[in-house]
């Protein structure tokens, strides 16, 4: 029997999130299960959860799966009320095969991960400029993919077009092809393959131009927002607005949640992992985890600095006799850049807070 007074009992919650409902399990400080509840994903449901959990004692921490998706609303609601939220990774497939799968089991596993100290990550706050940058980049990335797909389809149609139409587009630049295709007049009726091809080319060209305008509009909002959020980062040599935007999104609105620059390097997938075994000591291997978009941004910065930064070229010359940067040197450069970026991001955050 638990004899800890109600006011002194610390309660840990674990929550399995879904689109319409959340399932929560409460544990005491010894890991004893206190109860389970299912709530709707509404503010009234969140209030019901808090009232239910408070009956067991003082809410200490809450472990949530999917704080960036289904659990985002609950995370923001709890954070606004001063409750500590821990981000919990979903169980791996091996563990799930061993113990089965249901919502209460997943919620209890989330609570036990927090209670044992296995889960310690603080979620992104997603309540400031960086969250604005993230959602704009989601739209921009979608438009970029559609733009590339559209121009590839236009080129393919030109290649397979009837001879007279194909020759009309010969030896033209991409932009010239788009403008010419957008001005085509296929006619009111499609009686021939040439007329149908003209119509298809015209629609693709106009779609391409619309996507170009959409990307330009998004960039017009993104650039001043990124510069205002991290002016010191954009001012660094080789770091453009898009690379800076991606690194900001990876760190989040609260980069102080990352314990050290090493944590940021692991998050970006540029921290080498130890791979020593037996007689092979002091060996490291490439880190293939982390945020690959952030890794790509660091790679672009490193490549940019190779052609513009004297200090970077001097480092490459020191590491490589022929002065060429191989993959190992690029990995080292990315690790150094991650350290530099982390320092700037945390300093910018402190400046904005002040």
142: in domain: yes
Q: What pLDDT, on the 0 to 100 scale, is given for residue 279?
A: 65
Domain boundary among 60, 94, 116: 116
Say yes or no: 14 and 98 in one domain.
Answer: yes
CA-nearest of 343, 178, 201 to 262 is: 343
- Separation CA 344–CA 342 (nearest Å): 5
Mean pLDDT on 285-312: 89
In 3-state terms the chain splits into helix, strand, coil percentages (rounded to 5) of: 60, 10, 30
254 and 183 in a common domain: no
Residue 33 reports pLDDT greater than 50: yes
Q: Are residues 204 and 255 in the same domain?
A: no
170 and 187 belong to one structural domain: yes
Task: Give a yes or no: residue 29 inside a domain.
Answer: yes
For residues 104 and 35, membership in a common domain is answered with yes
Do 340 and 236 fall into the same domain? yes
What pLDDT digit, counting tens, does each position of 162-215 carry? Answer: 999 999 999 899 999 999 999 999 887 888 999 999 999 999 999 999 999 999
Q: Which residue, among 10, 29, 11, 14, has the nearest Cα to 109 in the 3D structure? A: 14
Residues 67 and 154 in one domain: no
Is the confidence at residue 105, as pLDDT, over 60?
A: yes
Contact in structure between 331 and 319 (CB atoms under 8 Å): no
How many domains is the chain built from?
Answer: 3
pTM for this entry = 0.82
pLDDT at residue 100, rounded to an integer: 65
Over residues 59-85, the mean pLDDT reads 92
Mean pLDDT of 52-60: 93
Structural domain of 320: 232-344
Q: Average pLDDT of 20-41?
A: 94
Answer whether residue 15 is part of any domain: yes
End-to-end CA distance of the chain: 49
Task: Say whether both 82 and 39 belong to one domain.
Answer: yes
Q: What is the mean pLDDT of the chain?
A: 89
SS3 210: helix
Paired residues of 85 in beta bridges: 62
Residue 348 CA from chain centroid, whole number = 20
112 and 26 in a single domain? The answer is: yes
pLDDT at res. 1: 44
Residue that finishes a domain, picked among 202, 229, 256: 229
For the chain, list the strands marked E by DSSP: 10-17, 21-27, 33-40, 58-65, 84-88, 273-274, 284-285
The residue-averaged pLDDT of 90-116 equals 80
The percentage of the chain sitting over the pLDDT mark of 70, rounded to a whole number, equals 90
Same domain, 80 and 137: no
Confidence at residue 349, expressed as pLDDT on a 0 to 100 scale: 66
How would residue 324 be classed by pLDDT, with cut points 50, 70 and 90? confident
CA nearest neighbour of 212 among 133, 140, 158: 140
The pLDDT, as a whole number, for residue 7 is: 60
- Comparing 53 with 8, the larger pLDDT belongs to 53
Q: What is the mean pLDDT of residues 52-77?
A: 92
Instruction: Tell me the sheet residues that pair with 121.
Output: 87
Boundary-marking domain end, from 203, 229, 255 = 229
Note the pLDDT of residue 48. Answer: 96
Q: According to the model, what pLDDT value does residue 84 have?
A: 93
Percent of the residues in the chain that have a pLDDT greater than 90, as a whole number: 65
Local confidence band at 10 (pLDDT 50, 70, 90 cut-offs): very high
Low-confidence winner among 5-9, 25-29, 107-111 (lowest mean pLDDT):
5-9
């Amino acid at each position: 029997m638990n004899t800890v007074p109600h006011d002194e009992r610390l309660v840990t919650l674990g929550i399995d999130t879904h689109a319409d409902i959340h399932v929560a399990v409460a544990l005491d400080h010894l890991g004893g299960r206190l109860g389970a509840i299912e709530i709707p994903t509404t503010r009234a449901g969140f209030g019901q959860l808090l009232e239910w959990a408070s009956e067991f004692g003082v809410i200490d921490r809450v472990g949530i799966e999917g704080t960036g998706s289904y659990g985002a609303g609950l995370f923001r609601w709890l954070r606004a009320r001063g409750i500590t939220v821990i981000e919990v990774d979903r169980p791996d497939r091996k563990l799930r095969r061993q113990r089965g799968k249901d919502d209460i089991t997943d919620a209890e596993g989330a609570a036990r991960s927090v209670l044992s100290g296995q889960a310690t990550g603080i979620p992104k706050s997603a309540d400031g400029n960086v969250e604005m940058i993230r959602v704009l980049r989601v739209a921009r990335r979608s438009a970029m993919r559609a733009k590339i797909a559209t121009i590839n389809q236009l080129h393919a149609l030109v290649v397979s077009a009837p001879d007279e139409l194909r020759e009309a587009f010969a030896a033209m630049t991409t932009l010239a092809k788009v403008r010419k295709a957008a001005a085509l007049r296929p006619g009111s009726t499609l009686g021939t393959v040439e007329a149908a091809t003209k119509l298809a080319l015209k629609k693709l060209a106009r779609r391409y131009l619309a996507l170009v305008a959409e990307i330009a509009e998004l960039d017009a909002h993104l650039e001043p927002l990124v510069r205002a959020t991290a002016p010191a980062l954009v001012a660094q040599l080789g770091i453009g607005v898009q690379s800076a935007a991606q690194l900001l999104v990876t760190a989040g609105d609260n980069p102080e949640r990352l314990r050290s620059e090493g944590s940021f390097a692991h998050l970006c997938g540029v921290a080498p992992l130890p791979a020593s075994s037996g007689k092979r000591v002091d060996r490291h291997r490439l880190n293939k985890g982390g945020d690959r978009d952030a890794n790509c941004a660091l790679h672009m910065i490193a490549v940019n600095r190779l052609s513009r930064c004297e200090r970077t070229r001097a480092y490459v010359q020191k590491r490589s006799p022929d002065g060429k940067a191989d993959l190992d040197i690029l990995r080292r450069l990315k690790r150094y850049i991650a350290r530099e970026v982390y320092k700037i991001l945390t300093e910018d955050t402190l400046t904005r807070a002040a």
